[in-house]
Chain A
Amino acid sequence: MRLFLLLAVSLSLAAQTPDCSLVPGWGQQGPARTYVADDLFEYMDGNAEGYLIYHFVKMQGVTCQLAGNTIVFDVSEMEDPEAAYGIFAANRDPRIATEKIGMASQIQPRRAVFCKDKYYVELAVNQEKDLSVPLRAFVTAMEKRISGRTALPEAISWFPTDKLVRDSIRLVPESVLGLRLLKRGYIAQYEYGKGFLVAESSPEAAAEVMTKLRARIGQTEPARIADDAFRATDRYLGRLAFFRKGRYIGGFANLAESQNATTLASGLAARIP
């Protein structure tokens, strides 16, 4: 039994381990790398914080080579699939469309990234060359090895799509809209402003946050949206409408003059189950 468990754990770990032989012809250069939050800085000082903020757990990496070309191949385990999507969205190029490989992917001439389940996979070419073909091959093969969630976090589908900037929805790991009260949630960029959605642990906790938000924003006007709502104007958040629906707090901010904040926020609230 114990042997079986060990074998199962080993196979499971192997599935998330980057492997140069995933694409025929490529071989590993040098030893494999493993980093945890405590020593990630040794690998990427100057950028480690950008991983830690998304609740980074562990990274395994190898460098692959073929005929003078090298690809750095790293697989980061994050705390959960939402965090994996979060770091993916923070690092993708918003000007380039994403593809549905895993939860989401982006393949460019010298760089490819994707997320699946709680894993964030990055491949980077060291030379000034277009290696999008092998990069795609690695992405496709690695995606098959990682089991688990391929659906995007559910909350993403709740944002209305009209005038939503393509691939703009991202997870903010701390302080949504620059407000500490809104601990972690999603931001969506629209042509006329930005929408947001934060999940609290319970309706009561969300109600408490709404009370604090009112105090923080100052002069607010009540609005009739979901369980509770208000509108206001703020120097930095512009014209805004915030609402609570159950344990969710959402709304719009920085809205253009032409937009009706209450209508937009109502539209978002209506899509939350």
Chain B
Amino acid sequence: MKSHVMPQSRGSWDKLQLVSGGIGKRSGQAESLSHLGAQAVAPETEALQSHSSRRDFLAAGLALPGLRSASVAGLAAEPALQYRTLGRTGLKVTTVGFGCMITSDPSVIQRAADLGINYFDTARVYGRGNNERMVGAVLKSRRKSVILSSKSQARSKQAALADLDASLRELGTDYLDVWCIHDRTRGEEITDELLEAQQIAKKDGKIRFAGVSTHRGQASVIPAALKCGKIDVVISGYNFAMDKDLDPVLESAHQAGLGLVAMKVMAGGFRNASYYPTTNELRSQLKREGALLAALKWAIRNPYIHSSIPSMVDMDQLDENLKAMASPFTEADQKILSARLEQIRPLYCRMCNRCEGTCPKGMPVPDVLRYLTYAEGYGQFALGREKFLELPSEVQKIRCDLCPSCSVSCSFGVKVAERLIRAQELLA
């Protein structure tokens, strides 16, 4: 495990170039200094170009008052970057990468690359190719000094390979560093056909490493990725609101050499709480509380997580996220997240389908709690009621307040009986 916080002082930057140029190599830090690692295909001169680019950027920031205040103000001019090795790929990745999905302006991606973030993730489906086009246009000039990842949701070998060709075309590159089978919930969805597509793509030099992404099927998908022996990287939903049972899975994946990239590290963990009318308001509130940064720090504090790909839409968010690499997860961060978790815990059914106990009367507890979320959380009363009325009539007639005690409980602390009674009051 290589994990370092590297204050990028001007002096250390010069050393970096020295190491990248192959003149000298020190243990530990020196190894982490090459962005591309042992299996890098980038000629060292190109790595140096990238470094020069960043140095030029910093120099420009110092030379141009307008630039300094516009683009560097509020941010340490020389941000600390933290690198880890992305499993068996050997790639050295910044622990904070960049999820490009909802980024509207290419300048944010450009600046992230200037500041040293080196892992960029997109997917064929994002904006129906528009996102790949934007990402490709921004990163084209520094292609070999960044790690580029994309994904395909295709279900057949032929469609996946067609998607890959489209991704390469849109991104303006002839290879991807990581190409993922996108959005799998069960291990068996990593089919032989798709694995074969990845092997063909590797053989053809179109991808360097094969990956899979999973949002909520980690316990099934990660072991399957390990077992098949052909997956190098897993991009996984991972945040502080998730089940701690996932940690041993991540540890075993790390030990076996899988590269692990965390996604949904921030708002995803909150959004399901449903009590915020819009993404913007939610983000704004969480930012005020420092919760977004705390959540990102929480994710990358786990040494088995090699990088993360939070979405970033503006320079402020980028500046904020960079701080996660510079300062450790603290008790203050824990306090913020605990408060947030406590706030959502009694209300927030995670749909994990692991309710403890079952209702002897046949109440489908997670479903009814979800319908309540529609009605209360999203103001979609009609939908909540519509769904409730689709339940068998005998289930609709159950009145939980007539039971002396509830046989169903939630290990996450959802007040099951209370919430069911509320659902029946509202929807029955």
Contact = CB atoms under 8 A, between A and B. Distances in A.
B151 A94 contact: no
B428 interface: no
B185 interface: yes
B182 interface: yes
Interface string B218-239: 0000000000000000000000
B333 interface: no
Interface string B112-128: 00000000000101111
B314 interface: yes
Contacts of A55: 278-279
A235 B130 contact: no
Interface stretch (B6-14, B99-107, B198-206): B99-107
B378 interface: yes
A218 B373 contact: no
A173 B70 CA distance: 22
B272 A38 contact: yes
B279 A52 contact: yes
A216 B67 contact: no
Nearest to B129: A93
B60 interface: yes
A178 B130 contact: no
Interface footprint category on B? 35 or more
Contacts, number: 146
A233 B64 CA distance: 10
B66 A36 contact: no
A161 interface: no
B338 interface: no
B274 A38 contact: yes
A247 interface: no
A216 to B, nearest CB: 6
Given A45-B216, A173-B104, A177-B105, A38 B68 contact: no
B378 A216 contact: no
B111 interface: yes
A34 interface: yes
Nearest to A34: B383
Given A50-B101, A90-B127, A178-B108, A218 B70 contact: yes
Interface in A80-129: 90-94, 111, 128
Contact of A46 (B105, B213, B374, B380): B213
B327 interface: no
A36 B107 contact: no
B158 to A, nearest CB: 8
B406 interface: no
A258 interface: no
Interface string A217-249: 111100000000000111111000000000000
A215 B57 CA distance: 21
Given A46-B213, A176-B105, A94 B130 contact: yes
B357 interface: no
Contacts of B61: 235
Contacts of A237: 70, 107
B315 A180 contact: yes
A118 B86 CA distance: 43
Contact of B111 (A46, A187, A236): A236
Nearest to A175: B314
A78 to B, nearest CB: 12
A53 B102 contact: yes
Given A46-B213, A50-B101, A178 B125 contact: no
Contacts of A175: 104-105, 108, 313-314, 316-317
B102 A49 contact: yes
A176 B107 CA distance: 11
A133 interface: no
B183 interface: yes
Contacts of A145: none
A96 to B, nearest CB: 11
B67 A235 contact: yes
Contact of A172 (B71, B73, B105): B105
Contacts of B105: 172, 175-178, 187
B123 to A, nearest CB: 6
Contact of B314 (A9, A37, A180): A180
B215 A234 contact: no
Interface of B: 57, 60-61, 64-71, 73, 101-102, 104-105, 107-108, 110-111, 123, 125-130, 151, 153, 159, 182-183, 185, 213, 215-216, 271-272, 274, 278-280, 311, 313-317, 370, 373-374, 377-378, 380, 382-383, 386-387
Please provide the 3 A-B residue pairs with the shortest distance between their CB atoms, ordered closest to farther.
A218-B69, A175-B314, A46-B183
8 contacts: A37-B274, A46-B183, A175-B104, A176-B105, A178-B105, A178-B111, A215-B69, A236-B110
Interface of A: 9, 34, 36-39, 41, 45-47, 49-50, 52-53, 55, 57-58, 79, 90-94, 111, 128, 172-180, 183-184, 187, 215-220, 232-237
Given A234-B70, A236-B107, 12 more contacts: A37-B271, A46-B151, A55-B278, A57-B380, A91-B128, A174-B314, A178-B105, A183-B280, A187-B104, A216-B70, A234-B66, A235-B57
